[in-house]
Structures are given as C-alpha cells and as structure tokens.
Amino acid sequence: MGLVVQKFGGTSVATIERIKNTVKRVIAEKEKGNDVVVVVSAMGKTTDQLVSLAKELSTYPNKREMDMLLSTGEQVTISLLSIALIEAGYEAISLTGWQAGILTENVPSNARILNIDQSAIKKQLDAKRIVIVAGFQGITSDLQITTLGRGGSDTTAVALAAALDADKCMIYTDVTGVFTSDPRFIPSARKLIAISYDEMLELANLGAGVLHSRAVEFAKNYNVQLEVCSSMVDEEGTVIEEEVKVEKSLVVRGVAFEDEITRITVFGLNNENTNLSSIFTTLASHNINVDIIIQNLTVGENPYLSFTIKHDDLHDTIQLLEAKQTELGFDHFEYESGLAKVSIIGSGMISNPGVAARMFECLTKNDIQIKMVSTSEIKVSTVLEESEMIKAAEVLHTEFGLDAVRQEA
C-alpha cells in the first residue's frame, strides 16, 4: 500500500458530469490499495466569476477580502466531490486548507506555504477515508485566510505530497502532459515524455500554464515524483524528474510565452548603487515582482533603469514610485504596456553555444522587434510587442526543431 496525491484542476471538475469522471479516477487509485489524498481547484471559471463580481463593486478590491471571497470556490468543489464519493460507497471527507493544517505567510492573494500540520489528514487516512483538500488556500498564524496565487492548487498538491512523503503526485489537467509549447495557440506543439525539474521550473516561471512554479520548486526541493496527465483521456502523461533520460538531442525543449507585460523606465538616477537597491527593495517590500532588468550607463549622463512587471501590478507600482520619488532619487518614470515575453528553454543550451544568436536571428528574419533580453544557463527571454507574441513563439518552435518531436500516443 502506498500514498498517492491526486490534483484535479478547474476544467476537470467544471460540471457535475466531470466531477463524476473525477470520482472514477479517485476510486481507481483507491482500488489499487493506496491511500489517496485529492486536491481540487474551483469549478471551471468560478474564480474568474468571483473576481468579476468583486470588480463590479471596486476597481481595486481589498486583497484581504478577495482572499475571503476566492477561497469559497474550492470549498464548493471539495464538498461536491466528497458527496459523490460517499454516494459511490467510499468513505471520504472534505477539508478546507486551514482544516488540513496548511500554514502560510500573511501575504494576501500570493501567500507562500510555511508549514503543514499533517495530523488532521493522517487521522482521516488512518480511518481509511479518502481525503479531499481544497487547493489554493491556507491560513496564517493569526487566523487570516490566504490564497496562494493563481494556479496555487498545484502548489498545495505537491506540498502535501512532500509533507506526507507520498509515493507520487499526479497532476490531472485538460491536456495530456507537458508540451513543447501551449497547444491551444501553437498547433505544432508536441507532448514531451519527460522534462527536468529545472526546465519545468523555467517553463512555469515564463508563462507555461500547465504547472505552477511553486509546485515545481517543492517537487525539486523534496524530490517528489511528479506526473502531469489528462483527466479526460487514459494515456501516459509527462514525468518531471531530476535528469531527463529521453530526447537528449533537444537543445531547446520548450517555448513559453506570457502576455500583459509592462515595462517601467526610471530616468535621472544618480550613479550610486544604493539608489538602485532602494528601488528594488521598495518594490519587493510591497510584494511587486520585478522580472527583466536593464540599466543603461552613459558617460556624462545620469543612468536610467528599465524593468518589467505584470500589468496587474502597474497600479500599485505607479502609486509607489510617485509616493517615493524624492526618497528614491529619480527625475521621472515612464511605462509601456501591451508587451509580451517569449522564451526558449532547454538544459542543452549549457553545452551548445550560439543558441541566443540563433534565436535573435530568427526573430529579426521574421521582422519581430526585440525590446529587452534576459538570459540564464538554460533559457533566453525576449520582450516584444504583445501583437507579435504568437508569431514569435511559432517561428521559434519551428526554428529549434520542436515541430518534429516524436508525438506520443
């Protein structure tokens, strides 16, 4: 007998019929003799609908109250799934994030898990029940309900798998695995048999929606056996592991893209490093994530600084920079929205020089203007016009041979 954590996303539980299908998946795992913990998201577009309701009342709803509101979505799903399992003749119990012992930091709408008290879940497993846990949520030490950010149910599942020392963690979604790019937009995208933790982490951070980046971090740090597969069809998914043993010839393993990027440019900085650090320290203290950073230094002129943020953070960033302008010591700032980020990812880049040059040449040949660049050992990211995002992803997918990856049945 082992312990398996299963996670089902919003599309997998979007309707009563799909919940019934999910019940079959859960029962099949239980019938193998395993203990089963199930993590679920809110049904379908429930979270989006709740956000829309809040924005009918406020353009910028209070984040603490948004956590209270959005956490209700998963509570509906866990109770319905538990009811269905009990009706099918299986002992089951639903637990909210806080009932399941998930302790988080006090950062509304984007909290990180600090600790998991396993006692409540273990008590129910000892009683031979299937435990259904609400994803995406937890509680602080002073009893404030928090959410983990969009896609946070993945993080809940992998964190529980790590805490409970599960034998494996299965992420069920509406696609059959991890693809070389998003198949909804890139028709030539192909499913990968396997991908490394590091590559998957880059893909998740760079916009691939199939897995939440924090979930991949947990899996890597605690060596959680992870598989992404379909909740709709019965076929092998993609294994995420430390070192990939197949398709080693691929220099680039994926193309990721992300829209709603805004570039902020701060002018008239002085030449002191403390000035730069103060800007980023201030942004970080207000939980504003900065991505690509470029500083321009010209002899005889004050430097200027450009960085990218998600468009959702623009309002808070503008307010912060305006309030702290004198303290931070800059002349003025400008911003440009309507941008996107397109990235290539692959551990093969480490031993294959010239990949970035090939990427830039491909984009230039296709008349796509590059506005900013960021690199690491296994990825190259470019910022460009949002209108060019899909075109850029398509030509890069072809350029690096990903159209020809063997399609698994």
The residue among 130, 145, 174 that closes a domain is 174
Would the pLDDT of 335 be above 60?
Answer: yes
For residues 9-27, average pLDDT: 95
Q: How many domains does the chain have?
A: 2
Same domain for 46 and 150, yes or no, is yes
Token representation of residue 317: 């960033």
Local confidence band at 315 (pLDDT 50, 70, 90 cut-offs): very high
SS3 call for 291: coil
Task: Kindly state whether residues 37 and 148 are assigned to the same domain.
Answer: yes
**Between 201 and 276, the higher pLDDT residue:** 201
73-114 pLDDT, tens per residue?
A: 999 999 999 999 999 999 999 999 999 999 999 999 999 999
Share of the chain above pLDDT 70, in %: 95
Q: Please tell me whether residues 283 and 143 are part of one structural domain.
A: no
- Locate 151 and state its tokens: 């896609």
Q: Which domain holds residue 71?
A: 3-174
**Pair (105, 11) in one structural domain:** yes
Pick the more confident residue, 409 or 385. Answer: 385
Which pLDDT value is given to residue 248? 62
CA distances from 25 to 7, 160, 265, 274 (A): 11, 19, 50, 55
pLDDT exceeds cutoff 90 at 143: yes
Residue 205: predicted pLDDT? 83
From residue 141, alpha-carbon distances to 7, 102, 145, 164, 318 in Å are 26, 10, 10, 21, 31
Spatial separation of the C-alpha atoms in residues 384 and 354, rounded to whole Å: 21
3-class DSSP assignment, residue 329: coil
Q: Is the pLDDT of residue 200 over 60?
A: yes
Q: Is 375 within a domain?
A: yes
Q: What is the mean pLDDT of the chain?
A: 91
Structural domain includes residue 307: yes
Phi, psi of 267 (to 5 degrees): -105, 155
**CB-CB contact of 132 with 198 (8 Å):** no
Side by side, the strands of the sheet bearing 332-345 are 293-296, 304-310, 254-267, 332-345, 379-385, 372-376
Q: How large is the greatest C-alpha to C-alpha distance in the chain, in angstroms?
A: 78
Give the Cα separation of 264 and 403 in Å (integer). Answer: 35
Q: Is residue 204 domain-resident?
A: no
Cα-based angle 86, 173, 290 (whole degrees, multiple of 5): 125
Residues 169 and 271 in one domain: no
Q: Are 24 and 31 in contact (CB under 8 A)?
A: no
Assigned domain for 248 exists: no
Give pLDDT, residue 117. Answer: 97
- Give the C-alpha distances (Å, rounded to integers) separating 156 from 77, 107, 314, 342: 15, 16, 28, 28
Are 74 and 38 a contacting pair, CB within 8 Å?
no
Phi, psi of 333 (to 5 degrees): -140, 155
DSSP E strands in 92-178: the ranges are 92-95, 102-104, 113-116, 130-134, 137-139, 145-147, 168-173
Q: Provide, rounded to the nearest whole percent, the portion of the chain with pLDDT above 90.
A: 73
Higher pLDDT, 157 or 204: 157
Inside any domain, residue 378: yes
- pLDDT tens string 276-313: 788 889 999 888 999 999 887 665 566 788 999 999 99
- pLDDT of 83: 98
The rounded radius of gyration (Å) of the Cα atoms in the chain is: 22
**Rounded to 5°, angle at Cα 221 from 228 and 158:** 40
Task: State yes or no: pLDDT of 149 exceeds 90.
Answer: no
Closest CA to 257 of 294, 205, 217: 205
* CATH number of the CATH domain containing 305: 3.30.2130.10
Domain membership flag for residue 167: yes
- Please check whether residues 282 and 151 belong to one and the same domain: no
Tokens of 390: 């899909």
Arithmetic mean of pLDDT, 315-336: 91
Mean pLDDT calculated for residue range 333-338: 95
Residue 378 has pLDDT above 80, yes or no: yes
Same domain, residue pair 271 and 378: yes
CA distances from residue 129 to 1, 15, 125, 165 in whole angstroms, order as listed = 14, 24, 5, 18
- State the Cα–Cα distance between residues 174 and 187, nearest whole angstrom: 16
Does 192 reside within a domain? no
| Residues 6 or more apart whose Cβ sits within 8 Å of residue 48 | none
Lowest mean pLDDT among 61-75, 92-106, 340-354: 340-354
What pLDDT does 238 receive? Answer: 92
Query: What string of DSSP letters covers 124-140?
Result: HHHTTPEEEEESSEEE-
The DSSP 8-state label assigned to residue 387 in this structure reads G
Domain end position, chosen among 121, 153, 174:
174
Specify whether 28 is located in the same domain as 140.
yes
Residue 214: its pLDDT value, please? 84
- 3-state SS class at 175: coil
| Partners of 5 in the β-ladder | 37, 169
Q: Each residue of 204-232: pLDDT tens digit? A: 888 777 888 888 988 999 999 899 998 88
User: Does residue 243 lie in a domain region?
Assistant: no
For residue 152, the domain's CATH number is 3.40.1160.10
Q: Are residues 396 and 288 located together in one domain of the fold?
A: yes
Please tell me the predicted confidence (pLDDT) of residue 210.
81
Q: Is the per-residue pLDDT at 332 higher than 50? A: yes
pLDDT at 298: 62
Segment 336-355 shows an average pLDDT of 91
Residue where a domain stops, chosen among 124, 149, 174: 174
Judgement on whether residues 152 and 45 belong to the same structural domain of the protein:
yes
Q: Are residues 39 and 142 in the same domain?
A: yes
Is the per-residue pLDDT at 274 higher than 70?
A: no
Is the predicted pLDDT of residue 247 greater than 70, yes or no?
no
User: Do 168 and 275 fall within a single domain?
Assistant: no
pLDDT for res 273: 56
Query: For residue range 388-407, what is the model confidence (pLDDT) as tens digits?
Result: 999 999 999 999 999 987 65
Token pair, residue 327, equals 């303290």
Burial class (CB in 10 A: 0-12, 13-18, 19+), 240: buried
CA 61 to chain centre: 23
Does the pLDDT at position 409 exceed 50?
A: no
Question: Does residue 37 contact residue 169 with C-beta atoms inside 8 Å?
Answer: no
